[in-house]
Structure 1
Amino acid sequence: MSRLLELKQVTKIIENESDKNNTILDHVDLTIREGDFITVLGGNGAGKSTLFNSITGSQPVTSGRIAFNGKPVTNWPEEKRARFIGRVFQDPKMGTAPRMTVEENLLLALKRGQKRHFLPRKLKENHEDFKQLCASVGNGLEHHLDTPTGHLSGGQRQSLSLLMTTLTQPDLLLLDEHTAALDPKTSKRLMTLTNQMIQQKELTCLMITHRMEDALTYGNRLILMENGKVKLDLNQEEKDKLTLEDLFVLFEKEDALETV
């Protein structure tokens, strides 16, 4: 597999009011290859979301280098990186426009990365395609194409966010605890859908999760972050040997280090 994204010695330092620097990412080295599905684990404050923010450009890094397909993108703004990076957030409200209908949100996602022109929306032309797409989710979303997104349930809205983000097949998909705000049944259904879409579309994906079962079940790599560093980077074979008990032991060691 070819290298898609490379982080070299990426560091993020935030200056506090007390003039003491807080290192959020500490010289992170990470190579993401095409087709990777990487689950990312770590306690609160481990640097997981900051890692994603550094990749998307929503937070500039203090030092280090980020390259996409060998091209330096460290100083690229977020909107430029959005052409090849898609992200689904933990909060279902963040990925959709609440006053626009499901159909309008999907049309907006379909035009992602294109130049804006004053042209007819062509909702009717895309209606059947959008209906079939929503029907594939299995939660009745296809019956709400004319419903403002703000009126949907959390599970439906998060499913729509996933559909929108993957509609134009981003080169890199970032899932930022995208099932965490949902009830267990809805979360399981969305995670099954997520895995199906990643496999069918052959997407490259990083997924932050606090659900250790999901970290073991999905993906071909598992990363454990601690204090802004990548402490473990396990391949498929190494990951397959892990049990839930092993992961709990790793987290207990992390907690013990934090209290020293």
Structure 2
Amino acid sequence: MSTVLELKNATKRIDNGLNETKVILDHVNLSIAQGEFVTVLGGNGAGKSTLFNSIAGTLSLSEGELFVNDQNITHFSEEKRAKYFSRVFQDPKMGTAPRMTVAENLLLAMYRGQSRGLRLRKINEQRDFFTKICSEIGNGLEKHLDTPTGNLSGGQRQALSLLMATLTKPELLLLDEHTAALDPKTSKQLMRLTDQQIQEADLTCLMITHRMEDALRYGNRLIVLQKGKIIKDLNKAEKEKLTLQDLLLFFEEEREEIAID
């Protein structure tokens, strides 16, 4: 399988303002192959968000390189990287334009990563298609094509964000704890939808989750971050042997190390 994403010695340092430098991503080497669905676990301050922000271009690396399909994009801007990556955030408000309707948000997503000159919207030509894909979610979103996104429930808004992120197939889908702000029932529904979207479109995905059950149930690879380093990288066969107790043990070991430090 071809390598979609490769990080080589990815490092991020920040100055905390006290003449001290903190390493929040520490020489991370990571390769993700086409079709892999990688779940990411780690405690607070492990470097999960920094990893995602460094991939998406929100943060620049202090050291190291980033490749997509063997192309070096280390110095690409966040806007230039948008043609390769799509992202669903933890906060339902971040992935959509609140004053635009559901249909308008979907239309915007159709042109992700493309140049956006002046053009006719032709939104009515896409209405049947938008109705079809929204109805497949099963939460009534198809009835709200003309509703401003800010008026949707959190679950509907996250489902819309997921649709927008996968409407044009990205090289890599970044799911940044995208169920964390939802109630347990809505979270389970969205995870089932997420898995369905990934499997049907054969997407390559990197998903941060704080729900250990989801880390076990979904994906074909699991990595665990601690202090900016990957301390576990388990393939599908190794992951299938894991229990919830095994995952809890990883974090018990982490707490013990912090106490010793």
Match of 2:135 in 1: 135
> Cα offset for 1:119?
2.0
- Equivalent-residue separation in structure 1 for 2:116 and 2:248 (angstroms): 49
Shift of 1:71: 1.2
Counterparts of 1:242 and 1:23, CA distance in 2: 30
Question: RMSD of the TM alignment (CA)?
Answer: 0.7
Give the corresponding residue for 1:66.
66
1:56 aligned residue:
56
Residue 94 of structure 1, CA deviation? 0.2
SS of structure 2 residue aligned to 1:95: coil
1:203 aligns with 2:203: yes
1:102-113, aligned counterparts within 5 Å? 102-113=102-113
Structure 2 CA distance, aligned partners of 1:118 and 1:29? Answer: 41
State the AA in 2 paired with 1:54.
S
Counting only pairs closer than 5 Å after superposition, residues 69-108 of structure 1 correspond to structure 2 as 69-108=69-108
Q: What is the identity, as a one-letter code, of the residue corresponding to 2:215?
A: A
Q: TM-score scaled by structure 2?
A: 0.98
> Which aligned segments of 4 or more residues in structure 1 are displaced greater than 3 angstroms?
none
1:188 maps to which residue?
Answer: 188
Structure 2: distance between partners of 1:172 and 1:119: 28
Q: Distance in 2 between matches of 1:125 and 1:131?
A: 11
Structure 2: how far apart are the matches of 1:212 and 1:126?
39
Query: Residue 110 of structure 1 aligns to which amino acid in structure 2?
Result: M
Offset of residue 118 of structure 1: 2.2
Aligned residue in 2 for 1:158: 158
Give identity over the alignment, percent: 63
Uncovered stretches (5+) of structure 2, i.e. residues with no partner? none
Partner of 1:169: 169
Aligned to 1:25: 25
- Measured after TM superposition, the shift of residue 123 of structure 1 is 1.1
Q: Residue 121 of structure 1 corresponds to which residue in structure 2?
A: 121
What's the offset of the Cα at 1:73?
Answer: 0.9
Instruction: Give the partner amino acid of 1:164.
Output: M
* CA distances 1:76-97 after superposition (whole Å, capped 9, x unpaired): 1111111010000000000000
- CA displacement, residues 130-165 of structure 1 (integer Å, 9 cap, x when unaligned): 001110111000000000000000000000000001
Matches within 5 A, 1:11-22: 11-22=11-22
Structure 1 residues not aligned, in runs of 5+: none
User: Could you list the per-position Cα deviations for residues 92-144 of structure 1 after superposition, in whole angstroms to 9, with x for gaps in the alignment?
Assistant: 00000000000000001011122223222111100010001110111000000
- Which stretch has the larger CA shift, 111-120 or 244-253? 111-120
Tell me which amino acid in the other structure corresponds to 1:179: T
Which residue identity does 1:167 align to in structure 2? L
Secondary structure, counterpart of 1:179 in structure 2: coil
